[in-house]
Amino acid sequence: MNYYTKKALENAIQSATKLIELNFKESSIVISLFGGRPLGFFPKNGCISLLWINPKIRETIHANDRAIGGDRYWISPERDYFYTNPEKWEGWFCPPTLDPANYELIGSKEDSCTVSSEISVENETLKKRFHGEITRQFKLVKEPHSTGLNYCGLEYLDDCVFFSSGLKMNGWSLACIISGGVQYPGTVLVPTKMNPKPLSYFREIPKDRLTVGENYVSYKIDVNDIYKLAIRPEDINYECPAKIGYCVKMPEKEEYGFLVKLSDDVPKTQTECFDIARDHPNSEIGVIQSYNSESPNKPQLNYGEIELQLKPFMSVDNTSHCKAKHQLFGYIGTKDEILTVIEKYLGVSDPYLF
């Protein structure tokens, strides 16, 4: 299974984890207690989720594997916390004490819920372990632009603290996104200042996967090869609340889907972001990022990602603390309707779509 409707997700999960459902008119957002994250994003009745969900979701949860999909919270720099040999960028792993961690539901209402977990990570460069806790509040919010379409709108308040001061790290929000593969790729769209200079983060991105417009960048998501795009803080249009969007033709339909992340709590300068690039670790840093994965078991398709580096942790009373707010909106409509939504959010008219 490449895609999930809400009913298919509920049938697949069964009792593997608790699901919290937030509903607004015809839209629905499904929060997974396992991994503490939004998992299903359904802008209207009967549609598939715009967030990618693992085709083997129940088995993945039973294995305590973080790779369920949805929109997760991590910390960066990746080099220090996700590689056993950070100097040579070798031995990538995800610390299970960060993700999936061990979330508990600490409160819920019709339009919101709050989850929390103890977390810990080891800085593999310093060989020091840091302990802390994360609380994530999810709340339904109304769209900032009137579109006339059914939509999902979710506001996150991520409150993360480590019980050690002076840590040089950022919060990190990563949403897994669906793709139609090579035949129907999706397009990441990042609004920018004039004449942006996009960065690669793993290896050089081929020209047929990247288009630089006058005030935006387009990037292909076909889940067929591993590349990562990053946008420098110098190129981010901070006057635009939306920081990254994603447009995709819906599978087996003529409709299009659109996801967009908004936040003001992102780094404004190179010195506020610590996530250096693997292919140029001594050069410039990118704040807004997008990942294209590979799908080795076709026709089963993996995911892409739209990502925000969140503002840096600050030292407060012998702790390191990051409290960041961001939003995710999702839409489904005709191509022309979605192009209108894109222009309202990103300020980009007639964008290049892969």
Write down all domains in the chain, each with its CATH number in brackets.
Answer: 6-346 (2.70.98.10)
- Integer Cα distance of 77 and 172 in angstroms: 9
pTM: 0.97
Phi/psi at 35 (nearest 5 deg)?
Answer: 85, -10
> What integer pLDDT is reported at residue 1 of this predicted model?
86
Q: Are 154 and 27 in contact (CB under 8 A)?
A: no
Q: What is the pLDDT along the chain (354 residues), one digit of tens a residue?
A: 899 999 999 999 999 999 999 999 999 999 999 999 999 999 999 999 999 999 999 999 999 999 999 999 999 999 999 999 999 999 999 999 999 999 999 999 999 999 999 999 999 999 999 999 999 999 999 999 999 999 999 999 999 999 999 999 999 999 999 999 999 999 999 999 999 999 999 999 999 999 999 999 999 999 999 999 999 999 999 999 999 999 999 998 999 999 999 999 999 999 999 999 999 999 999 999 999 999 999 999 999 999 999 999 999 999 999 999 999 999 999 999 999 999 999 999 999 999
In this structure, are residues 230 and 287 in contact, taking their beta carbons and an 8 Å threshold? Answer: yes
Q: What pLDDT is attached to residue 252? A: 87
Contact present, 199 and 217 (Cβ < 8 Å):
no
Q: Supply the pLDDT for residue 63.
A: 98
Provide the CB-side half-sphere exposure for 288 (13 A, CA).
33
Helix (H) or strand (E) holding 160, with range, is strand 151-162
